């Protein structure tokens, strides 16, 4: 099976949009503000698409007021579609929609708004358009050609990556592909889509030419607090029947964890983790799958590993039942997994879980990340990349079957817990502060 193509560089794709927003005329056309006017001018929307503009205006107002986050938009969208007579106008209106969605995200981030409702709503609306409008156009061949749909789906991916790219970044320096978690204000807790993006970036690094290392680093005072508590607490599917609920968790938990863990343990490059602080939950299992692990210091309050699965009504994730046993030893692994007790920096060092500890202060993540990069780049100067990859493959062959078996058991065990609604209740209590948070 051929590897997936690299993700395009976002800056190159959105440069024309930035240019348009900065240089186009600033005069606004009612009912839009000056922010939207350059985009409408740039996309050359005809007067025939006025119903579409009016529809967007109402939708955007709803998002700003926080009143329109979810719900059916099929009727107003259909009405807008009926008033767009030509394929060209349909295409232009869709492009303008996507441009507006991008700009709205830019505006939100520039204001540094903490409310996430706007971008959640925008993504939801784009998905609704895919489901309700574009597929109809393709199958009827009335509005949209199949090749145009491909372009639109690609744009949706770019917009989605643009949003998520604020939370995880990708760059290449020397022989190292670097993936950075950039949500320090949320302790770098990841939601479902962000874990999937992490997997996609790991895959991209796997086929990156001329690199030897894939470095996963973070920002702020925490490496990752695991799953985002708020996003998990919203998952309540008691209203679904048994079959539909099972399908839901197979898609949103089982498939994700199987894919994410597989991407880590099949990675052919040297996977390096720079622990700038505590690592918790699923993220701790993923860190344990790395080949080399470095910590910002050896202060027990600054760096620790916490696998609170038993506390959350789950089973271990990310093949942690195998990797923690292998790296920490049976006694310490039992303490971590069965009792959900944190394993502190000095114990992680003494067991060999951490390869090397630096001596930076907590919060000096940038200096620490730079030091780790220098460490691995300097150590690889006289090494042969092909030999490194072959040796890693041989080492991995000694334990891969056992690791895969444990991962499968964890995934099925976790599925049963979600179907019993045990984790949902735990996360809900944490979110409502009825139960103490793991941090």
Give per-residue pLDDT as tens, 322-374: 999 999 999 999 999 999 999 999 999 999 999 999 999 999 999 999 999 99
**Domain presence at residue 295:** yes
* Last residue in a domain, options 145, 164, 183: 164
- Buried-exposed string 359-396: b where 16+ CB fall within 10 A, e elsewhere: ebebbbbeebbebbbebbbeebeeeeeeebeeebeeee
Q: How confident is the model at residue 437 (pLDDT cuts 50, 70, 90)?
A: low
Decide if 189 is inside a domain.
yes
Integer Cα distance of 34 and 46 in angstroms: 19
Tokens of 202: 């790991």
If asked whether residues 149 and 197 sit together in one domain, one would say no
147 with 186, same domain: the answer is no
Q: Is 293 a member of any domain?
A: yes
Residues 264 and 379 in one domain: yes
Tell me, yes or no, whether 2 lies in a domain: no
Environment class of 326 (CB within 10 Å of its CB; exposed 0-12, middle 13-18, buried 19+) = middle
Using alpha carbons, select from 217, 151, 221, 127 the residue that is nearest to residue 179.
Answer: 217
Shortest CA distance to 366 belongs to which of 305, 287, 298, 296?
296
The answer to whether residue 415 scores a pLDDT higher than 60 is: yes
What value does the mean pLDDT of the chain take? Answer: 73
Measure Cα distances from 347 to 287, 298, 303, 330, 423 in Å: 16, 9, 10, 14, 29
Please say whether the beta carbons of 94 and 151 come within 8 A: no
β-pairing, 176-181 with 213-217? parallel
Q: What is the mean pLDDT of residues 12-34?
A: 37
Q: Which two tokens stand for residue 146?
A: 């199949």
* Distance, CA of 275 to CA of 32 (rounded, Å): 46
Residues 262-271: what's their mean pLDDT? 97
How big, in percent rounded to 5, are the helix, strand and coil portions of the chain? 60, 10, 35
* Residue 196: CATH number of its domain: 3.90.226.10
**Within-domain flag for 21:** yes
pLDDT at 207: 94
Q: Alpha-carbon distance 6 to 298, whole Å?
A: 37
Considering the domain architecture, whether residues 243 and 262 belong to the same structural domain is answered as: yes
- Is 403 among the domain residues? yes
Task: List beta partners, residue 168.
Answer: 181
Sheet holding 168-173, edge to edge: 168-173, 176-181, 213-217, 270-275, 292-295, 356-357
CB atoms closer than 10 angstroms to residue 404: 17
Confidence of residue 31 (pLDDT cuts 50, 70, 90): very low
Instruction: Return the pLDDT at 232.
Output: 61
Residue where a domain stops, chosen among 104, 136, 164: 164
- Residue 180 sits in the same domain as residue 123: no
Distance of CA 349 to the CA centre of its chain: 29
In terms of domains, do 332 and 305 share one?
yes
Provide the token pair at 7: 């993700």
Domain count, the chain: 2
Question: Do 144 and 60 fall within a single domain?
Answer: yes
Residue 299 in this model has a pLDDT that exceeds 90: yes
Catalytic residue among 163, 164, 203, 317: 317
pLDDT of residue 99: 46
* Residues 110 and 246 reside in one and the same domain: no
Q: Which two tokens stand for residue 284?
A: 């701790």
Same domain membership, residue 160 and residue 180: no
Q: Would you give the distance in Å from CA 144 to the centre of its chain?
A: 31
Q: Is the CB of residue 375 less than 8 Å from the CB of residue 272? A: no
Q: How confident is the model at residue 392 (pLDDT cuts 50, 70, 90)?
A: very high
Of 136-150, 295-309, 352-366, give the lowest mean pLDDT range: 136-150
Range of the domain at 180: 168-431
Q: Is residue 437 domain-resident? A: no
Question: Rounded to 5 degrees, what are φ and ψ at 392?
Answer: -60, -40
Please give the helix or strand (H or E) that residue 138 lies within, else none.
helix 135-140
Supply 127's token pair.
């998905």
Which single residue is written with the structure tokens 């490496």? Answer: 223
- Is 306 domain-assigned? yes
Do residues 140 and 225 both lie within one domain?
no
Residue 397 in this model has a pLDDT that exceeds 50: yes
Q: How far is it, in rounded angstroms, from Cα 263 to Cα 277?
A: 24
- C-alpha dihedral (35, 41, 42, 44), degrees to nearest 10: 140
Q: Are residues 331 and 348 in the same domain?
A: yes
**What DSSP string runs through 273-342?**
EEE-S-EETHHHHHHTTSSEEEES---TTT-EEE-TTGGGT----TTHHHHHHHHH-HHHHHHHHHS---
Indicate if 386 and 417 belong to the same structural domain. yes
Of 407 and 143, more confident: 407
Checking if the pLDDT of 286 tops 90, the result is yes
Residue ending a domain, choose from 144, 164, 184: 164
The beta-carbon contacts of 230-239 under 8 Å, at least 24 apart in sequence, are 230/431, 231/191, 231/192, 232/423, 232/424, 232/427, 233/424, 233/427, 233/428, 233/430, 233/431, 233/432, 235/424, 235/427, 236/424, 236/428, 238/421
Q: Long-range contacts made by residues 53-57, C-beta under 8 angstroms, separation at least 24? A: 55/79, 55/80, 56/97, 56/100, 57/31, 57/32
Least confident span in 154-168, 213-227, 360-374: 154-168
Q: What is the mean pLDDT of residues 104-117?
A: 41
CA 198-134-245 angle, to 5 degrees, is 55
Q: What is the pLDDT of residue 230?
A: 66
- 9 counts as catalytic: no
């Amino acid at each position: 099976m051929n590897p997936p193509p690299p993700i395009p560089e976002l800056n190159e794709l959105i440069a024309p949009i930035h240019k348009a927003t900065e240089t186009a005329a600033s005069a606004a056309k009612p009912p839009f503000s000056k922010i939207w006017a350059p985009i409408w001018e740039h996309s050359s929307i005809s007067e025939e698409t006025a119903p579409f503009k009016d529809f967007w205006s109402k939708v955007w107002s709803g998002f700003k007021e926080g009143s329109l986050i979810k719900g059916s938009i099929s009727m107003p969208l259909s009405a807008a579609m009926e008033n767009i007579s030509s394929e060209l106008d349909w295409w232009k209106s869709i492009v303008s929609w996507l441009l507006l969605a991008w700009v709205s995200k830019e505006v939100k981030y520039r204001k540094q708004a903490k409310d996430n409702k706007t971008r959640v709503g925008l993504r939801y609306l784009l998905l609704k358009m895919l489901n309700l409008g574009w597929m109809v156009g393709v199958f009827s061949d009335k509005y949209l050609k199949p090749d145009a749909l491909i372009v639109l789906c690609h744009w949706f991916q770019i917009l989605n990556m643009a949003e998520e790219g604020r939370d995880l970044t990708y760059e290449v320096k020397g022989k190292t592909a670097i993936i950075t978690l950039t949500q320090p204000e949320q302790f770098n807790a990841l939601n479902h889509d962000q874990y999937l993006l992490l997997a996609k970036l790991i895959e991209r690094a796997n086929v990156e030419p001329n690199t030897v290392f894939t470095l996963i680093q973070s920002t702020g005072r925490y490496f990752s607090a695991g799953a985002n508590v708020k996003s998990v607490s919203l998952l309540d599917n008691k209203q679904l029947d048994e079959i539909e609920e099972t399908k839901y968790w197979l898609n949103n938990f089982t498939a994700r964890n199987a894919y994410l863990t597989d991407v880590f343990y099949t990675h052919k490059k040297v996977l390096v983790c720079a622990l700038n602080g505590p690592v918790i939950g699923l993220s701790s299992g993923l860190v344990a799958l790395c080949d080399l692990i470095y910590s910002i210091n050896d202060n027990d309050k600054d760096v620790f590993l916490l696998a609170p699965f038993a506390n959350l009504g789950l089973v271990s994730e990310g093949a942690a039942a195998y990797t923690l046993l292998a790296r920490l030893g049976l006694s310490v692994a039992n303490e971590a997994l069965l009792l959900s007790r944190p394993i502190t920096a000095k114990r992680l060092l003494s067991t060999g879980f951490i390869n090397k500890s630096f001596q930076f202060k907590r919060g000096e993540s940038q200096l620490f990340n730079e030091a780790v990069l220098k460490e691995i780049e300097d150590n690889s100067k006289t090494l042969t990349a092909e030999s490194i990859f072959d040796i890693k493959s041989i080492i991995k062959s000694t334990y891969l079957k056992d690791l895969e078996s444990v991962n499968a058991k964890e995934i099925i065990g976790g599925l049963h817990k979600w179907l019993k609604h045990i984790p949902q209740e735990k996360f809900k209590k944490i979110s409502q502060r009825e139960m103490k948070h793991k941090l």
